Chains A and B, each alone.
Chain A
Amino acid sequence: DAGVTQSPTHLIKTRGQQVTLRCSPKSGHDTVSWYQQALGQGPQFIFQYYEEEERQRGNFPDRFSGHQFPNYSSELNVNALWLGDSALYLCASSFSGRYGEAFFGQGTRLTVV
């Protein structure tokens, strides 16, 4: 059983560009959450998708947007990148009917130059 998979693992972008990160949830999971982790800090919640709708959102600007597909996979889009967006982006999946236990992917390391 494949766990949560994210792609790509690393990427480098220039300020002002746009980026799309992808996540495939663990088999049987229907909820996907995205987190941003700066160096030396705990992950910060960006937003959560369930039934192809954004269900909850953290304190992130509208430059951060997402999508969930019918197969439960998800994308995170960030527009107008700036240096402060450099971070490890983590995807977590969970099953809506099971205690909210979250499983994480290996992350995407985004560097903005």
Chain B
Amino acid sequence: KQEVTQIPAALSVPEGENLVLNCSFTDSAIYNLQWFRQDPGKGLTSLLLIQSSQREQTSGRLNASLDKSSGRSTLYIAASQPGDSATYLCAVSGDSWGKLQFGAGTQVVVTP
């Protein structure tokens, strides 16, 4: 059974610092991995999708890496801003149908 873990559960950084968020999964037979952002009481916003054959994906200040063999993904956010404050969730899918297994998320606070 796939288990997804995100450590730490919460993180506070001063504005301008780079953020490093970690995600680990127990079964390396994944189809893809997605990173999402969630603001309080809101839905999920897709940030990056990494297919199992890829090592990383980039979008603006965001970069996500994937190491399937070690069961890890890392989301980097460069030069953090107060607007980056949110909960970040990673999720893995075992097939192309898109059923996702989520971690519990990392709550990020960026202080001005």
Contact with B along A12-42 (1 / 0, CB 8 A): 0000000000000000000101010000111
Shortest distance in angstroms between B55's beta carbon and chain A's nearest beta carbon? 16
With A100-B31, A102-B34: A94-B98 Cβ-Cβ less than 8 Å: yes
Total interface residues in chain A, CB < 8 Å: 31
Q: How many residues of B contact A (CB 8 A)?
A: 27
Interchain CB contact under 8 A, A104 and B97: no
A101 touches B34 (CB 8 A): yes
Stretch of B11-19, B66-74, B75-83, B88-96 on the interface side? B88-96
B98 pairs with A33, CB closer than 8 A: yes
The binding surface of chain A is classed by DSSP as: strand
Given A102-B46, A106-B42, verify A96-B100 contact (CB < 8 Å): no
Q: Is the CB of B49 within 8 A of A43?
A: no
Give me the interface of A with B, judged by CB distance under 8 Å.
4, 6, 31, 33, 35, 40-45, 48, 50, 55-56, 58, 88, 90, 92, 94, 96, 99-107, 109
